[in-house]
A and B are shown apart, each in its own frame.
Chain A
Amino acid sequence: MNRLTCPFCGPRELREFEFHKTLPEPGSSPYARVYERVARLDESTEHWQHVLGCRAWLRVRRNPSTDAVLETTLLGGGAT
């Protein structure tokens, strides 16, 4: 995993991006949203930000066992 594809800027080097957190299950309690993390070997859905680029907030689906990126979409841009 060396690149992420920003919906605005296209494929960019990973160090331009910053991981924020893994997304909670829909309908989780406030406690769970802050502290608990869903752990799966095959898939992880996360908040990232293009901090050294357009600063857009992204929703990234990845496979944490291979670091393959499955999908990158704009957070709040329909696919949340």
Chain B
Amino acid sequence: MTGAIPRYSALALLRARLSGGGFWSPLWTGRKLKDAYDVVVVGAGGHGLATAYHLARDHGLKVAVLERRLVGYGNVGRNTTIVRSNYLLPENHYFYEDSLRRWETLSKDLNYNVMYSPRGVLDLALSDGDMQDMARRGNAMRLAGIDAELLDLPALERFCPELEPRRQRRFPIFGGMVQRRGGTVRHDAVAWGYARAATAHGVDIIEDCDVQGLRTAAGVATGVETSRGYVKADRVLFATAGHTGMIGTMLGMPLPIETHLLQAMVTEPIKPMVNTVIIYVYPGHGEVYVLQSDKGGLVMGGFLDGFPSYTREGQWSRLENVVEGTVAVLPRAAGVKIVRQWAGTNDMTMDGSPIIDRLRHDNVFLNAGWCYGGFKTIPASGAACATLVATGTAPDLIKPFKLSRFQTGHLLDERGGGPFPVRL
């Protein structure tokens, strides 16, 4: 790492302590917007920052990241921090597995502690059908060399005794599937770590800079119009998550994306109670996932609110569903107070899988459609997307995520639900 940003180490920490704190300095603020760049990345979220980092580090390009609000204001700071690669389709599980491998070493790569915690991701089966479905998905994963274990009741009891799997419930627990290398990563640290590392490699991160238009000449993009003036760019990448639909509208090209809200909530901190990430579909209530943050709060989330919205306010009925589903499986969580609830805008594609491809022009790129699974893919997406933008050729890993797949019929419909993001 080069530049004015000091490397973190135990020795640096000690030196900072002894010198009274003067060692610490702002990590990415204060950069001036230049007139021209090799690549302009729109959106300083996880995917934009990770791509910028790899563009500068691996390909030596001059990069600016333009952000309308603040670094990490959107979904990278709003998700429930879960990382896993337990997907059914080969196109998906190879890509998500590449990401999980990168999470394992990311703290070292970025010289920033992102607090990767491989506490396991447990899919809970509440019916015999759930068990068969998990066995099928687990087998698909194992054929690809990814770890997955089907747990019967005794094994589940050993893995997560707090669940009391044999307890009498309205919907009894049948078993589960665990991916032990899955777990959690501190989400804010990912945004900050990538922003710091990108800055150290010469990337200019400009906050409070609204991109309002794309300037083109002879069919190629020449730069972007922003609230801080025109910026010339050889290549432009849009990584704007929930507002990707607006990018389509701006370029006069409707996208197969609908924006929906996903909410999450966290309780007051309590003593250690859940040692893993628990995910299940509670009959009649939809999906529920529960984990305990390192601070002690129970973090809970569920399914999409159900209709397109940009308000970032969750529906009360969905919050109720999530809480009822949580208490039904973890009765001891009843009575714990919820201290915060929030929502993020999700760019839902019509097959539930992402889009990393060119957009309309030869030198304009799109990194979007992450639905509700964008956080866990940040490291893989950043590296692969940077290769696409820098070389013009997509690595094999992201070739299936073409925009044209909706036209050619090569959909990646993991859920098998058809072109309706909210239908279960």
Interface residues of A (CB under 8 A from B): 1-2, 14-15, 18-22, 31-32, 34-41, 44, 46, 48, 62, 64-67
CA separation between A46 and B419, bound complex, in Å? 15
A62: chain B residues at CB < 8 Å are: 307
Q: Mark B251-264, 1 if CB is under 8 A from A, else 0.
A: 00011111100000
The reply to whether B310 and A41 form a contact with Cβ atoms under 8 Å apart is yes
A38: chain B residues at CB < 8 Å are: 249, 254
CB interface residues, B 198-249, toward A, < 8 Å: 245-246, 248-249
Q: Which of A14, A36, A48 contacts B317 (CB 8 A)?
A: A14
B315: chain A residues at CB < 8 Å are: 1, 14
A22: chain B residues at CB < 8 Å are: 258, 308
**Min CB gap A72→B, angstroms:** 13
CA separation between A58 and B311, bound complex, in Å? 22
The reply to whether B257 and A39 form a contact with Cβ atoms under 8 Å apart is yes
Q: Which of A19, A35, A65 contacts B422 (CB 8 A)?
A: A19
A32: chain B residues at CB < 8 Å are: 254
Interface residues on chain B, size class: 20 to 34
The reply to whether A64 and B308 form a contact with Cβ atoms under 8 Å apart is yes
**Min CB gap A1→B, angstroms:** 8
Known interface pairs A41-B246, A64-B259; A34-B308 also in contact (CB < 8 Å): no
A15: chain B residues at CB < 8 Å are: 317
- Of chain B, the residue at the smallest CB distance from A24 is B254
**Min CB gap B316→A, angstroms:** 7
Known interface pairs A22-B258, A39-B249; A2-B311 also in contact (CB < 8 Å): no
The reply to whether A37 and B254 form a contact with Cβ atoms under 8 Å apart is yes
Which of B248, B255, B309, B315 has the most chain A CB within a 10 Å cutoff? Answer: B309
Which of A14, A32, A48, A62 has the most chain B CB within a 10 Å cutoff? Answer: A14
Interface residues of A: mostly helix, strand, loop or mixed? mixed
Interface residues of B (CB under 8 A from A): 245-246, 248-249, 254-259, 306-311, 313, 315-317, 350, 406-407, 419-420, 422
The reply to whether A19 and B307 form a contact with Cβ atoms under 8 Å apart is yes
B257: chain A residues at CB < 8 Å are: 37, 39
The reply to whether B406 and A65 form a contact with Cβ atoms under 8 Å apart is no
**Min CB gap A61→B, angstroms:** 12
A14: chain B residues at CB < 8 Å are: 315, 317
CA separation between A78 and B352, bound complex, in Å? 35
The reply to whether A36 and B254 form a contact with Cβ atoms under 8 Å apart is yes
CA separation between A31 and B127, bound complex, in Å? 37
**Min CB gap A8→B, angstroms:** 20
A65: chain B residues at CB < 8 Å are: 310-311
CA separation between A29 and B105, bound complex, in Å? 47
The reply to whether B308 and A66 form a contact with Cβ atoms under 8 Å apart is no
A46: chain B residues at CB < 8 Å are: 307-308
Q: Which of A21, A31, A36, A64 contacts B420 (CB 8 A)?
A: A21
A35: chain B residues at CB < 8 Å are: 256, 350, 406-407, 419
CA separation between A11 and B313, bound complex, in Å? 22
The reply to whether A44 and B308 form a contact with Cβ atoms under 8 Å apart is yes
CA separation between A43 and B124, bound complex, in Å? 40
CA separation between A20 and B423, bound complex, in Å? 8
CA separation between A48 and B259, bound complex, in Å? 16
CA separation between A41 and B311, bound complex, in Å? 10
The reply to whether A64 and B309 form a contact with Cβ atoms under 8 Å apart is yes
